[in-house]
Amino acid sequence: MFFLEFKDRMFNLACFSIYQIFAWRPDFDPNNLTRWVKKGYLIRLKKGFYTFPEYKSKPDYSLYFANRIYKPSYISLHTALAFYGMIPEAVVQITSVTALKTISFTNDFGGYSYYSLKEQLMFGYELKPMADQRTIQFATPEKALLDLLYLYSFYNSEQELKELRLDENYLREDFNMDLLLEYSSRFRSKALDKRIKKLFNTYYL
């Protein structure tokens, strides 16, 4: 009976932490969580974070959880580029950037990888609406590409940049080059500036 009361209290949070449980019930026994995960009543997203299996069938929650289980972070890099249709590949892991240390998690919703950026470089993202009136923090296309060029130093040749297979129509019609250059100036990185020039040469921008 207690699980039903617990579920009624926690379900609408979608993703909840052990601290939120203790705020509700200071005397809560954490061993309940271990038992409920084993029974399939709950899914463990990472240490201290849980959800309910019903969310596996709901759209966008794997992305929403990426923001929630490791904060501050926003979705960027390959996942964001694929979301915008800038690269053709389906992305297996959900990639984010964070002001915390680089880390990865795997759970029933997939693989989550977080790459560390300096706190002052945590900008250039926006809130994307999703189901249930929730939002997801997503890099803009321009910031996603900059994060990629900055964090993946091997994108320093025309050959490597060609293998990204960026959609040239998107770059010419939908991509904001002025915003890219504005954002890049905030990185203050000569190496990044060189990669951007290589990018322009590779895709004739």
Please give the C-alpha separations between residue 50 and each of 20, 35, 46, in angstroms, as whole numbers.
11, 13, 7
The two structure tokens encoding residue 195: 């990669």
The two structure tokens encoding residue 27: 């005397």
Using the structure block, give the residue that is written with the tokens 């979705």: 75
**15-67 confidence digits (pLDDT tens):** 999 999 999 999 999 999 999 999 999 999 999 999 999 999 999 999 999 99
**71-126 confidence digits (pLDDT tens):** 999 999 999 999 999 999 777 899 999 999 999 999 999 999 999 999 999 999 99
Three-state SS at 70:
coil
Task: Report how far residue 42's alpha carbon sits from residue 38's, in angstroms, rounded to the nearest whole number.
Answer: 8
- pLDDT confidence of residue 1: 60
**Other beta carbons within 10 Å of 75:** 24
pLDDT of 149 > 70? The answer is: yes
What is the domain partition of the chain in residue ranges? 2-57, 61-202
Task: Report how far residue 198's alpha carbon sits from residue 111's, in angstroms, rounded to the nearest whole number.
Answer: 31
Task: Report how far residue 204's alpha carbon sits from residue 106's, in angstroms, rounded to the nearest whole number.
Answer: 39
- pLDDT confidence of residue 204: 81
* Closest alpha carbon to 161 in 115, 204, 195: 195
- pLDDT confidence of residue 125: 98
Omega prior to 129 cis, within 30 of 0: no
Spell out the residues 6+ positions from residue 105 whose beta carbon is closer than 8 angstroms to its own.
Answer: 45, 46, 69, 70, 111, 112
Print burial letters for 12-43: b (CB count within 10 Å at least 16), e (below 16).
eebbbbeeebeeeeeeeeeebbeebeeeebbb
Helix H or strand E encompassing 73: strand 73-75
Q: 12 pLDDT band (50/70/90 cuts)? A: very high
**183-203 confidence digits (pLDDT tens):** 999 999 999 999 999 999 999
The Cβ-side half-sphere exposure at 191, using a 13 Å CA radius, reads: 10
